[in-house]
Amino acid sequence: MKIRVISIPVQDQEKALQFYTEKLDFVKKVDVPLSESNRWLIVVSREEQEGVEILLEPAPNHFEPAKIYRKALFDAGIPWTQFHTDNVQLEYERLINLGVEFSVKPTEMGTVKIAVFDDTCGNNIQIVEML
């Protein structure tokens, strides 16, 4: 068994695509219309384009339990997912210069260094560096 796709719920797919490609430097891999307002929208790491894919999935706003859960995670500062980086400090500085807002600045926690940012689409995302 392998991990091929992870899903990140987003409030606006177009806004998410812009953030994930322009700020995080991911690459759009798949963009297939599913309905008038939804797409099968996949981005991947520029460095590992055949690696794990991220589905920027429309948030299920019509399903109240999911909406409540996402908001509770965000309000509590809990990351939806995390991405690996070789240097959290450098990535933090690059993203700050692009206007990305962080709720947790680079912080060492045992064998890792982490930082947490707002993806502007309803999620906190954590970046992690193994020390």
pLDDT tens-digit profile of 51-103?
999 999 998 777 899 889 999 999 999 999 999 999 999 999 999 999 999 99
For 11, the token pair is 């409030």
CA distances from 13 to 18, 39, 45, 106, 109 (A): 9, 8, 18, 28, 33
pLDDT of residue 61: 75
Q: Which residues of 74-86 are buried (b: 16+ CB within 10 A; e: fewer)?
A: beeeebbeeeebe
Average pLDDT, the chain: 96
For 45, the token pair is 């790491």
Q: What is the pTM of this model?
A: 0.94
Q: How far apart are CA 87 and CA 127, in angstroms?
A: 9
pLDDT of residue 36: 87
**Range 5-130 classified under CATH 3.10.180.10:** yes
